[in-house]
């Protein structure tokens, strides 16, 4: 194989730039020509594909986001646009494509594996950490650290003013970010879609704690529940404490890439390029129990991720006896 390309698709995550750098440098080491596809599957359709070299990735390892852009492509759902995308890769003699992205991107990649003879390898990259078959997705550690800093800062004002803060974290349908942030941020409340919650149990505990002198509360609520405002109102009406909502939003997607994500980017990409060189045509690099494995795309795309039971069991202590 002489030419390999890489594309970032869907919501960006910190670590994508570190992955691009490793991709270019490892390809050159393996005597493969590295190529960039700009702006996700949109750029693949519109032929925004260019050759990359050392200069293309100089100085980007520290930066969040992705130098080559990303997009959510509606057009890619249509077969004739995917045909165009495949034709563009063929026209340049590119034999393999590495896809950095989340579940939507892998569903698109799954189609490409069925509709072309080219080779594809996915790298899970989304702050939501919601890809089936892997316990870690690139960017999650950086996002968790951004959230940690925000929660620590909010605690300063919450404790000074004696207020309840409802902090909403991202995770379209998955409570992973909220769960880990609640456990590591010392929150009093954690609401995620994976665990049924009992506001009466919370109320009983919070009223008791208030009577014992607690001045403030930190509640971490996953955006997947769409309940942040409601919970803030509940604090005022049921617990009798002034409340505020902070929606952390897209700051969770940015930020200087953590050491963990830089190293994971390096390792994910190395395994992806190796898998393609070994002739694997339809795989996703998954990380579990400290090791990497190229799983077939059928075992990843369109399957449901579940938060590990052991982590969930820790969060079940919230709002219960």
Question: Which positions are annotated as active-site residues?
Answer: 128
User: For ligand F6P, which stretch binds (CB under 6 A), given 20-28, 122-130, 262-270, 309-317?
Assistant: 122-130
Cβ of 177: how many Cβ atoms within 10 Å? 27
Q: In the complex with ligand F6P, which residue's Cβ is closer, 88 or 181?
A: 181
Contacting ligand F6P (CB under 6 A), which of 66, 73, 126, 228?
126
Residue 127 within binding range of ligand F6P, rule CB under 6 A: yes
User: For ligand F6P, which stretch binds (CB under 6 A), given 16-24, 170-178, 206-214, 254-262?
Assistant: 170-178
Q: In the complex with ligand F6P, which residue's Cβ is closer, 9 or 88?
A: 9
Q: In the complex with ligand F6P, which residue's Cβ is closer, 224 or 297?
A: 224
Contacting ligand F6P (CB under 6 A), which of 40, 104, 133, 171?
171
User: For ligand F6P, which stretch binds (CB under 6 A), given 126-134, 147-155, 182-190, 290-298?
Assistant: 126-134
Torsion of CA 62, 37, 8, 114, to 10 degrees: -150
CA-nearest of 37, 34, 33 to 9 is 37
Contact between 266 and 22 (Cβ < 8 Å): yes
- Distance in Å, CB of 283 to ligand F6P, minimum: 22
Report CA Rg, the chain. 22
217 phi/psi in degrees, rounded to 5: -135, 145
Contacting ligand F6P (CB under 6 A), which of 21, 22, 82, 253?
253
Instruction: Please give the size of the binding site for ligand F6P, defined by CB under 6 A.
Output: 9
The C-alpha atoms of residue 247 and residue 293 are separated, in whole angstroms, by 36
Residue nearest to ligand F6P (CB): 11
Residues 6+ apart with CB under 8 A from 156: none
Two structure tokens written together for 240: 């009798």
The C-alpha atoms of residue 255 and residue 30 are separated, in whole angstroms, by 31
Contacting ligand F6P (CB under 6 A), which of 11, 40, 122, 185?
11
> E-strand spans in the chain?
3-8, 33-37, 49-51, 96-101, 119-124, 164-169, 189-191, 217-222, 243-247, 282-288, 291-296
Q: In the complex with ligand F6P, which residue's Cβ is closer, 133 or 171?
A: 171
Locate tokens 């390892």: which residue? 61
- Distance in Å, CB of 313 to ligand F6P, minimum: 24
Q: Of 216-235, which residues contact ligand F6P (CB under 6 A)? A: 223
DSSP 139: T
User: For ligand F6P, which stretch binds (CB under 6 A), given 23-31, 91-99, 123-131, 283-291?
Assistant: 123-131
CA-nearest of 11, 91, 17, 55 to 253 is 11
Q: Of 52-81, which residues contact ligand F6P (CB under 6 A)? A: none
Helix axes 140-161, 176-185, angle to 10 degrees: 50
User: For ligand F6P, which stretch binds (CB under 6 A), given 73-81, 165-173, 197-205, 262-270?
Assistant: 165-173
Q: Which residues bind ligand F6P (CB under 6 A)?
A: 11, 126-128, 170-172, 223, 253
């Amino acid at each position: 194989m002489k030419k390999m390309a890489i594309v970032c698709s869907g919501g960006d995550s910190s670590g994508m730039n570190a992955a691009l750098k490793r991709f270019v440098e490892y390809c050159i080491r393996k005597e493969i020509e590295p190529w960039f596809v700009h702006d996700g599957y949109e750029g693949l359709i519109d032929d925004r594909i260019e050759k990359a070299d050392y200069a293309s990735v100089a100085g980007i390892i520290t930066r969040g986001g992705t130098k080559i852009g990303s997009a959510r492509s509606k057009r890619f759902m249509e077969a004739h646009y995917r045909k165009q995308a495949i034709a563009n890769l063929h026209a340049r003699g590119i034999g393999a494509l590495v896809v950095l992205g989340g579940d939507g991107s892998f569903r698109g990649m799954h189609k490409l594996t069925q509709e072309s003879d080219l080779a594809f390898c996915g790298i899970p990259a989304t702050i939501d950490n919601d890809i089936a078959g892997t316990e870690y997705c690139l960017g999650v550690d950086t996002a968790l650290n951004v959230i940690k800093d925000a929660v620590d800062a909010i605690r300063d004002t919450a404790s000074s003013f004696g207020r309840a803060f409802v902090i909403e974290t991202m995770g379209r349908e998955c409570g992973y970010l909220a769960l880990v942030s609640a456990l590591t941020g010392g929150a009093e409340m954690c609401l995620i879609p994976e665990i049924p919650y009992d506001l009466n149990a919370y109320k009983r505990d919070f009223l008791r704690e208030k009577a014992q002198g607690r001045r403030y509360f930190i509640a971490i609520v996953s955006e997947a529940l769409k309940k942040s405002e409601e919970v803030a109102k509940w604090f005022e009406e049921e617990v009798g404490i002034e409340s505020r909502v902070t929606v952390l939003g897209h700051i969770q997607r940015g930020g200087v890439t953590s050491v963990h994500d830089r190293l994971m980017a390096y390792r994910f990409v190395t395994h992806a390029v190796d898998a393609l060189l070994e002739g694997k045509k339809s795989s996703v690099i998954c990380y579990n129990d400290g090791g990497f494995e190229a799983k077939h795309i059928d075992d990843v795309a369109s399957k449901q991720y579940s938060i590990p039971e052991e982590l969930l069991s820790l969060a079940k202590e919230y709002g219960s006896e």
